[in-house]
C-alpha cells in the first residue's frame, strides 16, 4: 500500500490571526487569550485559537507553525465551538486547563484525577501539549497530555491504542467538514478483542481491519516495512497495546490523518512544492474493504470478480455468487467431522482473518499450536503469532474465518481445519491417522503426496505437484536399479523439496515401509535432513526431503575451484555438525540408527552451509532382513567402510565412527580417501595421514590456501580425532559422544593406533573385483546396495 499512490493533496485554506505569546508554557497566573499563542521551543508547533475554513467559530488547537497553509493536528473542544474571540485558556492551581468565554461560560477543560503543586502546561516540540510539575519532565508524571486525546491526526510519538490501566483509548476520528472540526462518523481505533487489530469503522460498521501484528507489521499492511522516513513499533502487554511511529529525521513532517472522507492517509510535507503529499491510503484497494468476500472467501485484487472461495471451499449460494453477491460466503466442500478426525491445510500468502474471536499464546510453538487446535473441534485455524525467525507463538481462530485476502507480497501462512477426506481424497486412512495415495511419475503430473509434519505422525497432507525433473545426480545412481535418483521438486505452496526415488529392490511391504518412514520422520535434529513424507505406488517408493540449496559436501571439497569457498571455520563447523548429527542417530534418537553409508555425498548443506546428514536410517530400514550385528548385504561405499563391516558384514555404531573419521580427513585435505595417490607410497588417504601424523607433519595434509595459523590447533585436533576414529579395531574407536567432546577441545586425546584399511593393497574389494564383481565398483562414491559378503 505504501508508495502505491502518490498524489498531491490540495490544502484547505484557513484563516488565522497570529500574535505569538512567546513562550511554550502556561502557568496558573497567566491567561491565554485569543490572538496569543504558545510556540514549541524549536518552533515546530504552535497552540492558540483559529477559525477553520469558512466557519465563523473559533477553536483552540495546535498546528504546524512553519507551514503556511494552516494544518491543524489537534483541537481541544471540537464539539463545542466558541462563537467569537472571547475564549480564555487558563491553568488552575491544581493543574487543570480550562477554557472559558467572556461570560465565564465553560467551553472545555482537561481532565485529571490527580493534582500537583506548581503545575505548568507546556507545548513540546513533538506537538504534545502536556501538564506536568514545573521542574518535572518525566512523561510518566504528566497530569494530562493532548497525545492521549487525538483528534484526526496521529503524530510521531503518539500511541494509537489503549492503556488498560488508565482506560485511555486513543481513537482518531475525522473532522465533519474542512470547516467543522466536530467529530465525524468514522473512527480509527485499536480493537483489543481477541488479538488486537486496528479497525476503521463508520457508525460501528467495519470498513477496514489492519489484521493482527505479526512481529514485522500488521498482517493486512504488507507495505509497512523499514523505510527512510519513519520507524514503527507495536507494543502489546498487560498494561497497554499501541502502534506508534517515529520520524527518522524530525525536520521532515509526516503524519497519519483520517480525512473527512473516512480515508486514513499518511501525509508528508514537501518543502519544495509546499504541499502535503499522500504516501499511503487506507483502505488501499477494493480488497481492503472489510468482509467483502465474507466467510472463507478470499479477495484477490486483479481478479474479476475479486472474490473467490478459498481452495476446498465452494460458494454457499452459487446463485448469489453468480450475481456478484458474496454475502452468503463460502462453505467447505466436505463438512468437518471432528470425531472422525480432521486435519489442517496450509494456505499461504494471505492476510490473516479477523482475530476478534481468537486466542493466542506467545510461547507456544507451531506444533503445540497445531495440537491444541486439533483437539478443540471449534478451533478453525491456527498460525504463528510472530513470523520473525522461523516463527513462534500461537494464534487460534474460533468460528468462521472472515476477511481474508490474498496479498501480493508479505502474505502469511495459515492452517485451516479440513475434513480428513479432503486431505487425502481417494484412499482410506491407514494406521489410524495416515493415508496414502498414488502418484504418477510423469513430469508435471499432479501427485497426491503424503506429508508428515514435524513430530506428529501424519496430521497433514498436501496435494502437491512434483515438477519436472531438474537435477538427477548420476552419483546417486545405484547398482542394480538405475532409477535411484534425486530430483528437485516443489510443493504447491512453493516449498522446495528433494524427491528421492527408491529402487525396487526392497521386498519390504508397504506397511513396513510406511512405519519406517513415520519413525524416521519423527527424528529431528538440525544436522539431519528432514524427511517430509513419501509416496508409494505398488513397488514404487519415493521419499520427500527438505531441499538443500547448497547441494552436498562432495561438490565443494572435491572440486578444485569450489573448495576455496570453504574456509576453515566453515569446515570445522561442518565437522562438528556431522558429529552431532551422528551422535543423535546413535544415541539420542529413540531409534538408535546406524547410518552405514556416511560419506561426503550424503552430507547436504543448507543455505547457511550447515551440514545435514541425509539418507540416515534408509540403509538400516530398507535394507532387508538383518540382525543388529550382521547383515547378508553390505550397504555402504568403498573408501568409507570399516574393515569389519566390509569384510565380515559386521556393523555397529563403530563402523559409522570409522566412516566419520574418513570424512573428517577428506574435509581437512580436500582429497578422497579412495583414489588417493601419493608418489612416495601406496597408501590411501588414511595411510598418508597416519604417516604424516607419526612424523609430526600433519599440517601437510591441509591445503596451503587454508593454512591460517590461528586455526592450526583446531586443524591438528581434527586430524588427531579422525585418526582415532579410523583405528583398525572397533573397540579402540571412540564413541560419537567422545568425538563431540574431543572436537570441542575437552578431554585428552589418546594416541591413535594404526588405521584400518590404510594401504590400498589390503583392501578386500580390490581382490574381490578381479574375481566376481562388476566394473561399477571402481567408480568412486557409488553406494553399494547389494554385495554378498563372502
Ligand atoms: C486572567 O483572566 C481573568 C479573567 O478571565 C482575569 O481576572 C485575570 O486578571 C487575568 N489574569 C491575567 C494575568 O491576565
Ligand atoms: C462575544 O459575544 C458576546 C455576545 O454575543 C459579546 O458580548 C462579546 O463582547 C463578544 N466578545 C468579543 C471578544 O467579541
Ligand atoms: C459562553 O459559554 C456558555 C456556555 O457554553 C454559553 O451558554 C454562552 O452563550 C457563551 N457566551 C458567549 C458570549 O459566547
Ligand atoms: C474525565 O474523566 C472522567 C473519569 O475518568 C470521565 O468520566 C469523563 O468523561 C472525563 N471528561 C472528559 C472531558 O474527558
Ligand atoms: C524549578 O527550578 C527553578 C530553577 O531551577 C527554581 O527556581 C524553582 O523554584 C523550581 N520550582 C520547583 C517547584 O521546584
Ligand atoms: C533532515 O531533513 C531536512 C529537511 O529536509 C534536511 O535539510 C536535513 O539535511 C535532514 N537531516 C538529515 C540528517 O538527513
Ligand atoms: C502458553 O503456552 C505455554 C507453553 O505451552 C504454557 O506454559 C503457558 O501456560 C501458556 N499460557 C497460557 C496463558 O495459556
Ligand atoms: C475450545 O475452545 C473454546 C474457545 O477457547 C473453549 O471455550 C472451549 O472450552 C474449548 N473446548 C475444549 C474441549 O477445550
Ligand atoms: C549457499 O546457497 C545460498 C542460496 O542458494 C547461496 O546464496 C550461497 O552463496 C551458497 N553458499 C555457497 C558457499 O555456495
Ligand atoms: C528375518 O530373519 C529372521 C531370523 O533370521 C526370520 O525369523 C524372519 O522371518 C526374517 N524376516 C524376513 C522378512 O525375511
pLDDT of residue 544: 73
In a domain, 37, yes or no: yes
102 lines ligand 1 (CB under 6 A): no
Assess contact for 397 and 356: CB atoms under 8 A.
no
- The reply to whether ligand 8 has any atom less than 6 angstroms from the CB of 551 is no
Q: Are residues 371 and 409 in the same domain?
A: yes
CB 176 within 8 A of CB 184: yes
Q: Are 684 and 779 members of one domain?
A: yes
What is the rounded distance in angstroms from the CA atom of residue 576 to the CA atom of residue 573?
A: 5
Ligand nearest to the CA of 119: 5
Give 80 Cα–ligand 2 centroid separation in angstroms.
16
**What is the pLDDT, as a whole number, of residue 490?**
58
Residue 281's pLDDT band, with cuts at 50, 70 and 90, is confident
Asked if 386 is an active-site residue, the reply is no
Predicted local confidence at residue 593, as pLDDT: 80
242 burial (CB, 10 Å; 0-12 / 13-18 / 19+) is middle
Same domain, 237 and 316: no
Ligand 7 within 6 A of 363 CB? Answer: yes
Of 284, 306, 332, the one marking the end of a domain is: 284
**Nearest ligand atom owner, CA of 105:** 3
Residue 433 placed within a domain:
no
Cell numbers for 755, please give them.
588405521
**Half-sphere exposure for 588 (CA within 13 Å, toward CB):** 14
Q: Residue 47 Cα, ligand 2 centroid: separation in angstroms?
A: 22
Q: What Rg value do the Cα atoms of the chain yield, rounded?
A: 36
Model confidence over 631-649: pLDDT tens digits?
545 566 778 888 888 777 7
- My answer on whether 417 and 559 are in the same domain is no
- Atom 11 (ligand 2) nearest CA: 86
Q: How far is the CA of 400 from the centre of ligand 8 (A)?
A: 15
C-alpha cell recorded at residue 118 = 506548581
Q: Are both 8 and 144 inside the same structural domain?
A: yes
Which of the ligands is closest to the CA of residue 82? Answer: 3
Residue ending a domain, choose from 284, 307, 330: 284
Nearest CA to ligand 2 atom 12: 86
Q: Is the pLDDT of residue 122 over 60?
A: yes
Query: Which atom belonging to ligand 7 lies closest to the Cα atom of 368?
Result: 5
Q: Of ligand 1's atoms, which has the minimum distance to the CA of residue 104?
A: 5
Whether the CB of 134 sits within 6 Å of ligand 5: yes
Measure 630 CA to ligand 10 centroid, in angstroms: 13
Mean pLDDT of the 782-786 span: 39
Beta strand segments in 479-539, E: 485-490, 496-502, 531-537
Is ligand 9 within 6 A of the CB of residue 125? no
DSSP assignment of 643-665, as one string? HHHHHH-B--HHHHHHHHHHHHH
Same-domain pairing of 622 and 559: yes
Q: Of 137, 217, 681, 342, give the one whose Cα is nearest residue 145.
A: 137
Q: Using a 6 Å cutoff on CB, does residue 105 contact ligand 3?
A: yes
Tell me whether residue 72 is in a domain: yes
Any idea which ligand is nearest the CA of 608?
A: 9
In the reported structure, the alpha carbon of residue 398 is separated from the centroid of ligand 8 by a whole-number distance in angstroms of: 9
Of 518, 546, 574, the one marking the end of a domain is 546
Whole-angstrom CA distances from 703 to 122, 414, 507, 677, 679 are: 71, 49, 46, 15, 17
Using 50, 70 and 90 to split pLDDT, how confident is the model at 473?
Answer: very low
pLDDT at position 772 is: 31
- Selected residue with higher pLDDT from 537 and 249: 249
Secondary structure of residue 575 in the 3-state scheme? helix
Average pLDDT, the chain: 79
Q: Are 280 and 291 found together in one domain?
A: no
* DSSP secondary structure, 127-145, as one string: S-EEEEETT---GGG-SEE
Number of domains in the chain: 5
| Cβ of 31 less than 6 Å from ligand 1 | yes
Assess whether 131 and 182 both reside in one domain.
no
Q: Which atom of ligand 6 is nearest to the CA of 249?
A: 1
Phi first, then psi, for residue 278 (nearest 5°) are: -85, 120
Q: How far is the CA of 86 from the centre of ligand 2 (A)?
A: 6
State whether 592 and 732 are in the same domain. Answer: yes
Say what the pLDDT of residue 538 is: 55
Q: Is the CB of 563 under 6 A from ligand 9?
A: no
**Is residue 364 within 6 Å of ligand 7 at its C-beta?**
yes
Find the catalytic residue in 597, 615, 656, 781.
597
Pair 624, 758 in one domain: yes
Q: Is residue 21 part of a domain?
A: yes
Whose C-alpha lies nearest to ligand 8, atom 5? Answer: 359
Domain shared by 280 and 310, yes or no: no
Is the model more confident about 724 or about 532? Answer: 724
Q: What is the pLDDT of residue 422?
A: 82
CB of 270 closer than 6 A to ligand 6? no
* pLDDT (tens digit per residue) in 153-183: 999 999 999 999 999 999 999 999 999 999 9
- Residue-number span of the structural domain to which 490 is assigned: 438-546
Q: Kindly give the distance from the C-alpha atom of residue 166 to the centroid of ligand 9, in angstroms, as a whole number.
A: 52
CA angle 383, 384, 386 (to 5 degrees): 145
CATH number of the domain enclosing 527: 3.30.200.20
pLDDT at position 22: 59
Whether 103 lines ligand 3, by a CB cut-off of 6 Å, is: yes
Q: Give me the pLDDT at residue 474, please.
A: 24
What letter would DSSP give residue 460? E
Contacts of 33 (CB under 8 A, 6+ apart): 87, 88, 89
Nearest protein CA to atom 3 of ligand 9, as residue:
607
- What is the average pLDDT across 776-783? 35
Q: Note the ligand closest to the C-alpha atom of 88.
A: 1
Q: Is the CB of 473 under 6 A from ligand 8?
A: no
Q: Tell me, what CATH number does 597's domain have?
A: 1.10.510.10
Position 513 scores a pLDDT of 67
Q: Are residues 571 and 656 in the same domain?
A: yes
Identify whether 592 is part of a domain.
yes
Ligand 7: does its nearest atom lie under 6 Å from the Cβ of 238?
no
Q: For ligand 2, what atom is nearest to the CA of residue 34?
A: 13
- 384-409 burial by CB neighbour count: b if 16+ within 10 A, else e? bbebeeebbbbbbbeeebbbbbbbee
Asked whether residue 431 is domain-assigned, the answer is no
354 in a structural domain: yes
Give the ligand whose atoms come closest to the C-alpha of residue 360: 7
Distance 106 CA to ligand 3 centre (A): 7
Local confidence band at 70 (pLDDT 50, 70, 90 cut-offs): very high
| pLDDT tens digits along 11-34 | 333 333 333 455 899 999 899 999
The pick from 82, 101, 104 for probing ligand 3's pocket by mutation, whose C-beta has the most ligand atoms within 8 angstroms, reads 101
In this predicted structure, what is the pLDDT of residue 539? 59
Q: Determine contact, residues 716/724, Cβ cutoff 8 Å.
A: no
CB-CB neighbours of 266 under 10 Å: 21
Tell me: pLDDT of 702 over 90: no
C-beta of 729 in contact with ligand 8 (< 6 A): no
Does residue 268 fall inside a structural domain?
A: yes
To test the ligand 6 pocket, which listed residue (227, 248, 249, 268) has its Cβ within 8 A of the most ligand atoms?
Answer: 249
Ligand 1 centroid–CA 90 distance in Å is 9
Amino acid at each position: 500500500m505504501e508508495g502505491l499512490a502518490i498524489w498531491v493533496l490540495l490544502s484547505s485554506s484557513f484563516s488565522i490571526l497570529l500574535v505569538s505569546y512567546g513562550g511554550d508554557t502556561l502557568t496558573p497566573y497567566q491567561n491565554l487569550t485569543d490572538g496569543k499563542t504558545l510556540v514549541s521551543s524549536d518552533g515546530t508547533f504552535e497552540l492558540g485559537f483559529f477559525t477553520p475554513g469558512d466557519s465563523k467559530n473559533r477553536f483552540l488547537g495546535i498546528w504546524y507553525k512553519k507551514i503556511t497553509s494552516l494544518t491543524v493536528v489537534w483541537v481541544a473542544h471540537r464539539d463545542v465551538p466558541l462563537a467569537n474571540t472571547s475564549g480564555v485558556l487558563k491553568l488552575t492551581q491544581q493543574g487543570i486547563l480550562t477554557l472559558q468565554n467572556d461570560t465565564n461560560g465553560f467551553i472545555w477543560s482537561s481532565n485529571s484525577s490527580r493534582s500537583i503543586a506548581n503545575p505548568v502546561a507546556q507545548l513540546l516540540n513533538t506537538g504534545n501539549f502536556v501538564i506536568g510539575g514545573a521542574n518535572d519532565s518525566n512523561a510518566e508524571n504528566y497530569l494530562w497530555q493532548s497525545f492521549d486525546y487525538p483528534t484526526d491526526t496521529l503524530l510521531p510519538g503518539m500511541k494509537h491504542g489503549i492503556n488498560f490501566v488508565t482506560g485511555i483509548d486513543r481513537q482518531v476520528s475525522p473532522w465533519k467538514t474542512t470547516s467543522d472540526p466536530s467529530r465525524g462518523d468514522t473512527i480509527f481505533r485499536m480493537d483489543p478483542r481477541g488479538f488486537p487489530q486496528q479497525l476503521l469503522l463508520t457508525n460501528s460498521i467495519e470498513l477496514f481491519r489492519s489484521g493482527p501484528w505479526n512481529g514485522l507489521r500488521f498482517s493486512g499492511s504488507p507495505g509497512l516495512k523499514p523505510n527512510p522516513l519513519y520507524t514503527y513499533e507495536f507494543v502489546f502487554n498487560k498494561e497497554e497495546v499501541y502502534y506508534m511511529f517515529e520520524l527518522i529525521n524530525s525536520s521532515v513532517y509526516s503524519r497519519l490523518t483520517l480525512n473527512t472522507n473516512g480515508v486514513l492517509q499518511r501525509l508528508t510535507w514537501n518543502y519544495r512544492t509546499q504541499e502535503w503529499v499522500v504516501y499511503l491510503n487506507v483502505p488501499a484497494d477494493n480488497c481492503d474493504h472489510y468482509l467483502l468476500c465474507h466467510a472463507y472467501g478470499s479477495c484477490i485484487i486483479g481478479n474479476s470478480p475479486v472474490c473467490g472461495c478459498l481452495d476446498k471451499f465452494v460458494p454457499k449460494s452459487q446463485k448469489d455468487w453468480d450475481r456478484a453477491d458474496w454475502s452468503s460466503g463460502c462453505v467447505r466442500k466436505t463438512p468437518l467431522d471432528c470425531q472422525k478426525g480432521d486435519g489442517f491445510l496450509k494456505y499461504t500468502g494471505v492476510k490473516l482473518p479477523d482475530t476478534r474471536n481468537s486466542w493466542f499464546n506467545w510461547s507456544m510453538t507451531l506444533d503445540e499450536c497445531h495440537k491444541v487446535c486439533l483437539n478443540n473441534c471449534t478451533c478453525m485455524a491456527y498460525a504463528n503469532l510472530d513470523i520473525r525467525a522461523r516463527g513462534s507463538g500461537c494464534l487460534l481462530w474460533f468460528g468462521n474465518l472472515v476477511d481474508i485476502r490474498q496479498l501480493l507480497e508479505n502474505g502469511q501462512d495459515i492452517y485451516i481445519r479440513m475434513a480428513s477426506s479432503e486431505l487425502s481424497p481417494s484412499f482410506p486412512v491407514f494406521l489410524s491417522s495416515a493415508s496414502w495415495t498414488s502418484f504418477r511419475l510423469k513430469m508435471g503430473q499432479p501427485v497426491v503426496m503424503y506429508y508428515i509434519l514435524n513430530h506428529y505422525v501424519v496430521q497433514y497432507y498436501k496435494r502437491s505437484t512434483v515438477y519436472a525433473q531438474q537435477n538427477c545426480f548420476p552419483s546417486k545412481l545405484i547398482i542394480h536399479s538405475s532409477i535411484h535418483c534425486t530430483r528437485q521438486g516443489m510443493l504447491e505452496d512453493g516449498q522446495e523439496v528433494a524427491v528421492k526415488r527408491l529402487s525396487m529392490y526392497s521386498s519390504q511391504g508397504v506397511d513396513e515401509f510406511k512405519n519406517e518412514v513415520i519413525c524416521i520422520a519423527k527424528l529431528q535434529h538440525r544436522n539431519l535432513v528432514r524427511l517430509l513424507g513419501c509416496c508409494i505406488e505398488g513397488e514404487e517408493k519415493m521419499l520427500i526431503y527438505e531441499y538443500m540449496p547448497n547441494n552436498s559436501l562432495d561438490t565443494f571439497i572435491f572440486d578444485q575451484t569450489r573448495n576455496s569457498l570453504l574456509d576453515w571455520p566453515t569446515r570445522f563447523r561442518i565437522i562438528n555438525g556431522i558429529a552431532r548429527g551422528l551422535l543423535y542417530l546413535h544415541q539420542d534418537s529413540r531409534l538408535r540408527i546406524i547410518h552405514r553409508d556416511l560419506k561426503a555425498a550424503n552430507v547436504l548443506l543448507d543455505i547457511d552451509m550447515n551440514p545435514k546428514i541425509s539418507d540416515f536410517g534408509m540403509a538400516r530400514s530398507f535394507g532387508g532382513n538383518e540382525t543388529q550385528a550382521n547383515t547378508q548385504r553390505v550397504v555402504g561405499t568403498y573408501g568409507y567402510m570399516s574393515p569389519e563391516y566390509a569384510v565380515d558384514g559386521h556393523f555397529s555404531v563403530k563402523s559409522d565412527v570409522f566412516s566419520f573419521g574418513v570424512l573428517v580427513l577428506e574435509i581437512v585435505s580436500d582429497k578422497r580417501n579412495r583414489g588417493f595417490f601419493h608418489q612416495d607410497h601406496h597408501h590411501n588417504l588414511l595411510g598418508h595421514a597416519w604417516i604424516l601424523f607419526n612424523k609430526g607433519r600433519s599440517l601437510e595434509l591441509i591445503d596451503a590456501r587454508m593454512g591460517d595459523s590461528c586455526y592450526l590447533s583446531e586443524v591438528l585436533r581434527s586430524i588427531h580425532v579422525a585418526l582415532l576414529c579410523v583405528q583398525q579395531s572397533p573397540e579402540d574407536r571412540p564413541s560419537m559422544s567422545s568425538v563431540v567432546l574431543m572436537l570441542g577441545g575437552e578431554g585428552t586425546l589418546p594416541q591413535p593406533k594404526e588405521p584400518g584399511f590404510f594401504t590400498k593393497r589390503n583392501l578386500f574389494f580390490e581382490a574381490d573385483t578381479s574375481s566376481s564383481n562388476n566394473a561399477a565398483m571402481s567408480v568412486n562414491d557409488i553406494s553399494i546396495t547389494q554385495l554378498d559378503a563372502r
